[in-house]
Amino acid sequence: MKIYHTVIAKTERGLSGGETCMIALVKYLVKKKYKNVIFTTSIGKEIYENSGLREDGQYIKYHAIDFSDTDTKRHIFFSWILSLIRAIKSLHKINFSNDDIMICHSDFFPDFITAHLCKKKNSKIKIYYWYHMLAPRLFYGYEGEFTKKFQFPKLNVIFYKINQWLSKFFIDKGDAIITVNKYYQRILNKIFPNNRIYCLKHFGGSRSVSSLKSKKEYDIIWVGRFHPQKGIFQFVDIVSRITRKLKNVKVVVIGDGDEGIKKKFFSEVKKKRLDGNIVYIGSVVETEKYLNYLRGSKIFLMTSIYEGFGLVNLDAMSQSLPVVAYDLPVYESIKKGMITVPILRNDMFSQKVLELLENNKYYEEQSNKSYLQSLKFSWDKMGSEMLSLINS
């Protein structure tokens, strides 16, 4: 039996939460002596090998289609069409055995169409379609799905919604669908009534370390992409409220993304005179460096107004940081280790952060709570859960 991992939509550098999950899963399967074939682009191969998935010819092999830096300069839609065409043309090079497994790691059309065509080549293979995040409703978008704020549909949301709508026509009744939280499972049960929907119970998790006594350089840390769903401007407002009482609070920001949002972020920081409080680091790819920033901070702020699971929450919790976040339904499985406030209630949010900074006993209680909750999750536990599902 070989396990194929389909990631044809990989046309950009950097790693998403879904790809982090795929890398962790392959590493686990290799430890268990399973053969893995990663069906991706040449860019994907480069990124995944740099992340530890080195081709060894035995447990890790790549079926990579050409995708150059010139191709990445195209609009994402045309990039994906190009990668899909090349993937289809390369299918004749793959010979599937009846007991082979395919895991489709994204719900974007290059991946689910490629997976579907692989099954057309051999109807005996089993396919698992992975839904890491569901598209928001068209007339609400990322900013309005949970805030209930109506907005005119945006192109990126329309594109995402069309992708997930199209996937319904390519997923066969016998295929399983995997998701990462109970909230999504309930929605997917309605969308795919004839498929088995499996919600992973132990999704995610960095190596847990109690950092309560570590030297803390920063009071607050924020990590995320510069994207409308991440609530970066809510974060600025919350920090501004905190500085009214604690003027010298130190904050570190890790992340990158949309240049327009980033430019506006720096403008807001300057306007609210937070230049002396907020340190911007940019993107941090190295895992240990990223975890060191978490350990060197006291409190993790999660200001997302739309999420698929909240892997970064779990990363922070694993390093024993109290996590303060808006109360989103996708946090159902990790919520017991977090402090949540009603969405957009920045007055309550900032008050919770101040309470943690000013009350040592409360801080220690929440730090221990985060750490203990994180122990329930690990990539190895998730790998074991996936393996049981595959073998059932």
pLDDT, tens digit, for every residue of 28-38?
Answer: 999 999 999 99
Is the per-residue pLDDT at 288 higher than 80?
Answer: yes
Is the per-residue pLDDT at 64 higher than 90?
Answer: yes
Q: How confident is the model at residue 12 (pLDDT cuts 50, 70, 90)?
A: confident
Gap between the Cα atoms of 56 and 294, Å rounded: 33
Average pLDDT for 237-250: 96
Is the per-residue pLDDT at 45 higher than 70?
Answer: yes
Average pLDDT for 377-392: 92
Is the per-residue pLDDT at 345 higher than 70?
Answer: yes
Query: Which residue spans of the chain are classified as CATH 3.40.50.2000?
Result: 2-203+378-391, 218-374
Q: How confident is the model at residue 212 (pLDDT cuts 50, 70, 90)?
A: low
Looking at residue 75, what is its pLDDT? 85
Would you state the CATH architecture of domain 2-203+378-391? Answer: 3-Layer(aba) Sandwich (3.40)
Which CATH code is given to the segment(s) 218-374? 3.40.50.2000
Looking at residue 5, what is its pLDDT? 97
Looking at residue 71, what is its pLDDT? 84
Looking at residue 205, what is its pLDDT? 74
